[in-house]
Amino acid sequence: MDVPFILSWTTYLPAACALLLLALPGASDRALRRIALAGSLAAFVLSLHLVFHFDPFTGRMQFEESVSWIRLPAFEIRHHLGVDGISLFMVLLTTFLTPLVLLSSWRSVTQRVRPFLACILLLETGMIGVFCALDLMLFYVLWEVVLIPMYFLIGIWGGERRLYAAVKFILYTMTGSLLMLVGILYLFFAAGGDTFSLVELVARLESGALGWTSREELWLFLAFGLAFAIKVPLVPLHTWLPDAHVEAPTAGSVILAGVLLKMGAYGLLRFCLPLFPGAALALAPCISVLAVIGILYGALVAMVQPDLKKLVAYSSVSHMGLVVLGIFTFTTPGLEGALVQMVGHGLSTGALFLLVGMLYDRRHTRRIADFGGVAHASPVLAAAFLVVTLSSIALPGLNGFVGEVLILVGSFSRSKVFGTLAAVGMVLGAVYMLRMYQRVFWGPKNPANAGMGDIGTREKVLLLPILLLMLWIGVYPPPFLRRMDASVAGVLRRVESARAPGGSYRVDFMDARGTPGEETK
Amino acid sequence: MTLDELFLLIPQWILLAAAAALMLMEPFGRPAGRRRLGLVTVAAVAAAAYALQLQWGLEPRSIAGGMIRIDGFSLFFQWLFLVIAGLSAVLSTDFNQREGIDRGEYYALLLTACSGMSLAAMSEDLILTFIGIEILSLSTYILAGFKRRDIASNEASLKYFLLGSFATAILLYGIALVYGATGSTQYQAIRASAALQGEIPALLLPGLGLLLVGVGFKIGLVPFHSWVPDVYEGAPSPVTAFMAVGPKAAGIAALLRILAEALPGLAPDWTRILWLLAVLTMTLGNAAALVQSNVKRMLAYSAIAQAGYILVGVVVHTREGFTAALFYLVIYTVMSLVAFGVILALSGPGDRRVHLDDYAGLGRRAPYAAAAMGITLLALAGIPLTGGFMGKFFLFGSAVKAGFVGLAVIAVLNSVLSVFYYFRVLVYMYMKEAPGGTTDIDPVSRPVWAILAIGVLLILWLGVSPDRFLALAGYSSLGLK
């Protein structure tokens, strides 16, 4: 079955739903919530269509659609969407998490419900659009559109220092993205000034019709890379993240950690690697060093956090460092590991924020020291938290394991030092997560926690799909990996094509599934 | 002048005739129906617009002995100025009644200012350019001080007048030097003479410099901007709205004509000077706006910075650059008018409630006005899906294309800086609670609502589908060179 404009439907359904919400005066909060949930669920159903009809044997874009948007004499900006193995699961992650986020805020957000729901839905449209956009300008527009609802989410429904966090968030990300705009413009004019299409630009680079001087390529890589590195975030550009995560309301934190950070890593994979492979190769050592520093630094800082949300926020810095390390190994397991880890981190960190939000709803504190013995009062919550914790520290059989092991395999094949340090970071991850779990759920009983009660049906319904999905990815990842293979191979081919013959090329000794690496050229 | 040529100037005749009529209506009209003044003004503007519309598609030509040029560029700016005058009149009507300054002279001066701006944009002769700018200036000096009993308004007027006279003198001196160097005040003749002499006469460069100072003052470029914040703050809010867009656009128009038509031979020189001025204007405008707590003053500095962005298109001096500058002028006009429209709608009796604190919790107290302001601020900051983004996109794009990557990067970093203060208003409107004891918002009149609504729709429309307006700007910039 071929559904025309399936990607547009998926992308814009939430936004249409948001407009509907704003246009319904006098509807009760309850009704508004239901409409929003229905809209996001519909988007999820539409995105499922993508998975079922996805052809895993091609690295090309699928479900492509392209209509003219802004037509000028010299060029046109097209509304060009498409997904491949790299973006498919990012789209799904977004559509999967959004309904859960809406459900999680069912009780906790009672002020200004209508704009809150509208913000979440607009955010969803922006995020899906970012992952589908194949026109550089369209990508940029949607990339920026994501910022605004997030800004309001943090600034209006956030915690104590929400204004500071919101402004910091917007300034950091805007700096990166506006420099990217200059990069896009330069790229556009360098390529002949007639197209913003990513597919077309990559094709021109591949055919040699378009080429970079090494200086140009380096600057362009940096212009794009900075925007993405801030979003990921890569140390030392990460300082907006703890503030934003901590001050955002639960829903905002989940979306930030679950999806927004992935936009950065996705951008690296989708734009930086195929467009500027030479610069990517040249800068890979530096970026890997930063990534490793991020892994270790994030973990070490997470260890000493007294605040649950802050701890999870710094663990994100650590885990996302791992993703970047995986990408810049330029190996199949490294890249696929990074993709699985992106999904896995979205699920586990998203779930962690949801669970912390549930704790907060009951106790109105996030300080680890205020808890203790919570497992007695809320056994189901404790059990769910345990599963998510274990997934976050990469216990085999859960999603975290698959991604992290693949990344480690990839990075060991490139550099034993980086691989070892990354592994150390994972061990540290286990330390701070388990210690936190122990202090919150076991330990001496804090009498204040006695009456906090266990999670209710709504919260169980909310957590169950995440837990199941974690288990599925952990136990049987091939359905996911298979759909990534062809696209990842395409990106790697692009990168390897830039390697100078006889240069610092090394054969990949290990490949996750025993197939030979991309030893072309 | 032949009859034909007079016909081409009918829009201006209509404006001036209406101005005279308004002055007469003041003493002879019945005091009860004062809204008629605004209506007559709008009717005159509409009539002029209709007359102008008849000129659409005419072959470009020079009239009045080569002093006035009728081409796409002239049409474009006449349109823009008519829109500005009409909207300002609508914004003024209720405000003036509230403040007790609803006088015929006010509207008459608006129309003469509009006429002066049009002359400056159409002129192909330094003398006429000067006269146009003078008509405009004299009108705005008085308008700025129209609240006679208000000290701030008086100060604004006097300051503007004193500094403005200096700028005028400098402009005139520049014209004299250029005349001395080239032997003509007509753009085509200057162009021919300067180009003919292989070596650039020594007088010409100082002349160019003085011209830039004089026009730069009108546009409010740094370092000739010191009057802007005080005058914008002190003038009655509708006058501020008018001054933020009208004289600025007129100055840009005159500048474009002079540089592109008379002195293209000096392009390497003025590009360098304007590059510096653009950078200074953007950076200092934005930096000063960062620390303002008075919204009107903040927008004054923002207006300075916005002029810096527009100047980028002039520095680039390619077709794309000029087109982008014109396009941005349209968007800037809409954004400014909406922003000041909201301000004057909310400023309350005495035009006093213009502090950031007065905007606290506005999102709840006046959701629609806050939404209009919010969207406009996003546009001013250059967030996508608003016209402000499209304008910047084409401006910076033209800069990158012409090789001014450094300028584009500086402009972009300036945009980041501007996000800080534009978003601070959002913070106040949506993220802070109204302090206790704040008075209610006065009801906003229907015509003002209509303007705000149309403006916001236009901002969004230009952000999503700028093709047509861009084509129009492109057609108009064809008149240059």
The answer to whether residue A164 neighbours chain B at the CB level (below 8 Å) is: no
Convert the pLDDT of each residue in B327-360 to its tens digit.
Answer: 999 999 999 999 999 998 888 777 778 888 888 8
Q: What are phi and psi of A81, to 5 degrees?
A: -120, 155
User: Residue with structure tokens 């586990």?
Assistant: A348
* Residue B3 pLDDT greater than 90, yes or no: no
Has residue A150 been placed in a domain?
A: no
Three-class secondary structure of residue A28 per DSSP: coil
Which residues share a beta bridge with B63? Answer: B68
Cβ(B187)–Cβ(B133) below 8 Å: no
Q: Tell which residue, A144, A48, A140, A101, has the closest CA to residue A346.
A: A101
Q: Minimum mean pLDDT among A201-215, A444-458, B142-156: which range?
A: A444-458
Convert the pLDDT of each residue in B410-429 to its tens digit.
Answer: 999 999 999 999 999 999 99
Model ipTM value? 0.90
A73 contacts in chain B (CB < 8 Å): 471, 474
Q: What is the structure's pLDDT at B195? A: 61
A162 contacts in chain B (CB < 8 Å): 431
Q: How far is A192 from chain B (nearest CA, A)?
A: 10
Label residue B33 by pLDDT band (50, 70, 90).
Answer: low
The answer to whether residue B383 neighbours chain A at the CB level (below 8 Å) is: yes
* Residue A505 pLDDT greater than 60, yes or no: no
Q: How far is B82 from chain A (nearest CA, A)?
A: 27
Percent of chain A residues past pLDDT 90, beyond the cut: 61
CA–CA gap between residue B478 and residue B481 (Å, rounded): 7
Say how many CB pairs under 8 Å bridge A and B. 82
Q: How many residues does chain A have?
A: 521
The answer to whether residue A155 neighbours chain B at the CB level (below 8 Å) is: yes
The answer to whether residue A215 neighbours chain B at the CB level (below 8 Å) is: no
For A144, the closest of B384, B409, B424 (CB atoms) is B384
Q: Tell which residue, B388, B365, B374, B353, has the closest CA to residue B424.
A: B374
Q: Tell which residue, B184, B170, B171, B166, has the closest CA to residue B263.
A: B184
* Residue B34 pLDDT greater than 70, yes or no: no
Q: Six-digit token pair at B218?
A: 């009108």
Residue A37 CB neighbours (<10 A) = 18
Q: Give the global pTM.
A: 0.91
The answer to whether residue A190 neighbours chain B at the CB level (below 8 Å) is: no
Cβ(A262)–Cβ(A346) below 8 Å: yes
Q: How far is B47 from chain A (nearest CA, A)?
A: 32
B419 contacts in chain A (CB < 8 Å): 170-171, 174
* Residue A517 pLDDT greater than 60, yes or no: no
Q: How many domains does chain A have?
A: 1
CB interface of B with A, residues 393-412, below 8 Å? 393, 396-397, 400-401, 405, 408-409, 412
Q: Over the range B158-169, which residues count as b (16 or more CB within 10 Å of their CB) and which as e?
A: ebbbebbeebbe
Please indicate whether, in this complex, the C-beta atoms of B383 and A167 are within 8 angstroms of each other.
no
* Residue A511 pLDDT greater than 60, yes or no: no
Average of per-residue pLDDT across A132-141: 94
Residue of chain B whose alpha carbon sits nearest to that of A185: B397
Q: Over the range B307-320, which residues count as b (16 or more CB within 10 Å of their CB) and which as e?
A: bbbbbbbbbbbbeb
Mention every residue, 6+ apart, whose C-beta is less than 8 A from residue A516: none
Which residues share a beta bridge with A67? Answer: A79
Please indicate whether, in this complex, the C-beta atoms of A163 and B413 are within 8 angstroms of each other.
no
* Residue B81 pLDDT greater than 90, yes or no: yes
Q: What is the structure's pLDDT at A375? A: 85
Please indicate whether, in this complex, the C-beta atoms of A181 and B412 are within 8 angstroms of each other.
yes
Has residue A467 been placed in a domain?
A: yes
User: Residue with structure tokens 């400014």?
Assistant: B336
* Residue B164 pLDDT greater than 50, yes or no: yes
Q: Which domain holds residue A397?
A: 282-500
Convert the pLDDT of each residue in A341-379 to its tens digit.
Answer: 999 999 999 999 999 998 888 888 888 888 888 888 888
CA–CA gap between residue A37 and residue A14 (Å, rounded): 10
* Residue A514 pLDDT greater than 50, yes or no: no
Q: What is the DSSP letter of A367?
A: B
A174 contacts in chain B (CB < 8 Å): 415-416, 419
Residue of chain A whose alpha carbon sits nearest to that of B422: A167
The answer to whether residue B162 neighbours chain A at the CB level (below 8 Å) is: no
For A170, the closest of B419, B432, B474 (CB atoms) is B419
Average of per-residue pLDDT across A102-106: 89
Has residue A334 been placed in a domain?
A: yes
Residue of chain B whose alpha carbon sits nearest to that of A145: B384
Cβ(A511)–Cβ(A517) below 8 Å: yes
* Residue A2 pLDDT greater than 80, yes or no: no
Please indicate whether, in this complex, the C-beta atoms of A170 and B423 are within 8 angstroms of each other.
yes
Q: How many helices (H) and strands (E) does chain A have?
A: 21, 2
Mention every residue, 6+ apart, whose C-beta is less than 8 A from residue B352: none
Q: What are phi and psi of A401, to 5 degrees?
A: -60, -50
* Residue A422 pLDDT greater than 50, yes or no: yes
For B384, the closest of A141, A166, A193 (CB atoms) is A141
Convert the pLDDT of each residue in B260-271 to its tens digit.
Answer: 988 888 888 899
The answer to whether residue B415 neighbours chain A at the CB level (below 8 Å) is: yes
Residue A371 CB neighbours (<10 A) = 22
**Torsion, CA B456, CA B458, CA B464, CA B467, rounded to 10:** -170
Q: Tell which residue, B91, B10, B110, has the closest CA to residue B54.
A: B10
Has residue A272 been placed in a domain?
A: no
Cβ(B65)–Cβ(B2) below 8 Å: no
CA–CA gap between residue A492 and residue A327 (Å, rounded): 10
Has residue A387 been placed in a domain?
A: yes
Q: How far is B245 from chain A (nearest CA, A)?
A: 26
CA–CA gap between residue B118 and residue B254 (Å, rounded): 10
Label residue B365 by pLDDT band (50, 70, 90).
Answer: confident
The answer to whether residue B54 neighbours chain A at the CB level (below 8 Å) is: no
The answer to whether residue B475 neighbours chain A at the CB level (below 8 Å) is: no
Q: Six-digit token pair at A97?
A: 């998490």
Q: How far is A289 from chain B (nearest CA, A)?
A: 28
Label residue A73 by pLDDT band (50, 70, 90).
Answer: confident
Q: What is the structure's pLDDT at B6? A: 83
Bigger pLDDT: A73 vs B226: B226
Average of per-residue pLDDT across A162-174: 91
Q: What is the structure's pLDDT at B204? A: 87
Residue A456 CB neighbours (<10 A) = 12
CB interface of A with B, residues 335-374, below 8 Å? none
Q: What is the structure's pLDDT at B4? A: 79
- HEC string for chain B: CCHHHHHHCHHHHHHHHHHHHHHHHHHHCCCCCCHHHHHHHHHHHHHHHHHHHCCCCCCCEEECCCCEEECHHHHHHHHHHHHHHHHHHHHHHHHHHHHCCCCHHHHHHHHHHHHHHHHHHHECEHHHHHHHHHHHHHHHHHHHCCCCCCHHHHHHHHHHHHHHHHHHHHHHHHHHHHHHHHCCCEHHHHHHHHHHCCCCCCCHHHHHHHHHHHHHHHHCCCCCCCHHHHHHHHCCHHHHHHHHHHHHHHHHHHHHHHHHHHCHHHHHHHHHHHHHHHHHHHHHHHHHHHCCCEHHHHHHHHHHHHHHHHHHHHHHCCHHHHHHHHHHHHHHHHHHHHHHHHHHHHCCHHHCCCEHHHHCCHHHHCHHHHHHHHHHHHHHHCCCCCHHHHHHHHHHHHHHHCCCHHHHHHHHHHHHHHHHHHHHHHHHHHHCCCCCCCCCCCCCCHHHHHHHHHHHHHHHHHHHCCHHHHHHHHHHHCCCC
Q: How far is B409 from chain A (nearest CA, A)?
A: 7
Q: Tell which residue, A142, A93, A397, A422, has the closest CA to residue A258.
A: A93
The answer to whether residue B176 neighbours chain A at the CB level (below 8 Å) is: no
Which residues share a beta bridge with B294? Answer: B355
CB interface of B with A, residues 421-450, below 8 Å? 423-424, 426-427, 430-432
Label residue B30 by pLDDT band (50, 70, 90).
Answer: low
Q: Six-digit token pair at A451?
A: 């009456």
Q: Six-digit token pair at A395?
A: 């216990």
Which of A119, A181, A224 to mutate to probe the B interface, most B CBs <10 Å? A181
Please indicate whether, in this complex, the C-beta atoms of B467 and A72 are within 8 angstroms of each other.
yes
Which residues share a beta bridge with A81? Answer: A65, A133
A188 contacts in chain B (CB < 8 Å): 397
For A70, the closest of B424, B431, B467 (CB atoms) is B467
Q: Tell which residue, A118, A95, A110, A115, has the closest CA to residue A40.
A: A95
* Residue A329 pLDDT greater than 60, yes or no: yes
Please indicate whether, in this complex, the C-beta atoms of A166 and B400 are within 8 angstroms of each other.
no
Q: How far is B122 from chain A (nearest CA, A)?
A: 27
Average pLDDT, chain A: 88
Domain ranges of chain B: 1-262, 264-481
Mention every residue, 6+ apart, whose C-beta is less than 8 A from residue B139: B109, B110, B112, B113, B116
Cβ(A384)–Cβ(A470) below 8 Å: no
The answer to whether residue A500 neighbours chain B at the CB level (below 8 Å) is: no
Q: Tell which residue, B227, B224, B229, has the closest CA to residue B214.
A: B224
Which residues share a beta bridge with B70? Answer: B61
The answer to whether residue A240 neighbours chain B at the CB level (below 8 Å) is: no
Q: How many residues does chain B have?
A: 481
Please indicate whether, in this complex, the C-beta atoms of B409 and A182 are within 8 angstroms of each other.
yes
Kind and range of the H or E run holding A473: helix A457-475
CA–CA gap between residue B325 and residue B307 (Å, rounded): 10
* Residue A274 pLDDT greater than 80, yes or no: yes
Report whether the peptide linkage leading into residue A233 is cis, meaning its omega lies within 30 degrees of zero: yes
Which of A185, A189, A215 to mutate to probe the B interface, most B CBs <10 Å? A185
Percent of chain B residues past pLDDT 70, beyond the cut: 96
Q: What is the structure's pLDDT at A363? A: 84
Classify strands A62-71 and A76-83 as parallel, antiparallel or unpaired.
Answer: antiparallel
Please indicate whether, in this complex, the C-beta atoms of B471 and A72 are within 8 angstroms of each other.
yes
CA–CA gap between residue B155 and residue B335 (Å, rounded): 27
Has residue A446 been placed in a domain?
A: yes
Q: What are phi and psi of B68, to 5 degrees?
A: -120, 135
Convert the pLDDT of each residue in B232-276 to its tens digit.
Answer: 988 998 999 999 999 999 999 999 999 998 888 888 889 999 999
Has residue A34 been placed in a domain?
A: no
Label residue A193 by pLDDT band (50, 70, 90).
Answer: confident
Q: What is the structure's pLDDT at B280? A: 95
Q: What angle do CA A25, A29, A34 make, to 5 degrees?
A: 100
Average pLDDT, chain B: 89
* Residue A500 pLDDT greater than 80, yes or no: no
Q: Six-digit token pair at A324?
A: 């970047």
Q: Over the range A196-223, which residues count as b (16 or more CB within 10 Å of their CB) and which as e?
A: bbbbbbbebbeeeebebeeeebbbbbbb
Q: What angle do CA A13, A17, A20 make, to 5 degrees?
A: 140
Has residue A402 been placed in a domain?
A: yes
